[in-house]
Amino acid sequence: MSSPISFKKFELPPLPYKVDGLEPYISKDIVDVHYNGHHKGYVNGANQFMERFTKVIKGELQSGQYDVQGLMRGIVFNVNGHKLHALYWDNMAPAGKGGGQPGGALADLIVEQYGSYDRFKQVFIETANSLPGTGWTVLYYDTENGNLEIMTFENHFMNHIAELPILLILDEFEHAYYLQYKNKRADYVNNWWNVVNWDYAEKKLQKFLK
């Protein structure tokens, strides 16, 4: 007898602060819509696509009743959308706890590889502002060689480097800033630094240092 086929559902994680916790840099209205609307939508979408995938595995949908390529893209888009947003929320903290400059090993690596924190920040901002359309700007820690690598990836998956942990992540979809900043994405990018959770980034880095 074959085992029952099932996948565990994805769940929306709680915000690590109140919806108004990032004000004035990211408004309560944006966090509310972004978290309860968009992020929750990716969680629901991921579960719906996985339910359909389960039906394919069970043979409840026959060939011609589904588009496997579209199914896979739907899973990747929604699962990555969910996971990237979870990282994004954790990567920020209310003013006072967030912002400022990094310390510890992360600060040392930034100075070693970028010359100074100010130069690192300048390059990160320039990279973020170069992103065409919508997507993310991230700081990876490369576990192979210890490099801190700044990367943009479009949508939820294009240009993503496999298996590299993300230390910093900036959401550049319009829903992350438009209610407050309108078409001035650069202002949002500049103000985001006031809520960066450097303690979170340092703790994550420490997991991978040899």
User: Which residues fall in the annotated binding site for Mn(2+)?
Assistant: 34, 85, 171, 175
The tokens for 68 are: 């496997």
CA angle, 178 then 179 then 180, to 5° = 90
Instruction: List binding-site positions.
Output: 34, 85, 171, 175
Question: Are residues 91 and 169 in contact, defined by beta-carbon separation less than 8 angstroms?
Answer: yes
Q: Write the single-letter amino acid at 97.
A: K
For 75-121, give the secondary structure using H, E and C: HHHHHHHHHHHHHHHHCECCECCECCCCCHHHHHHHHHHHCCHHHHH
Q: In whole angstroms, how far apart are CA 13 and each of 4, 20, 86?
A: 27, 17, 7
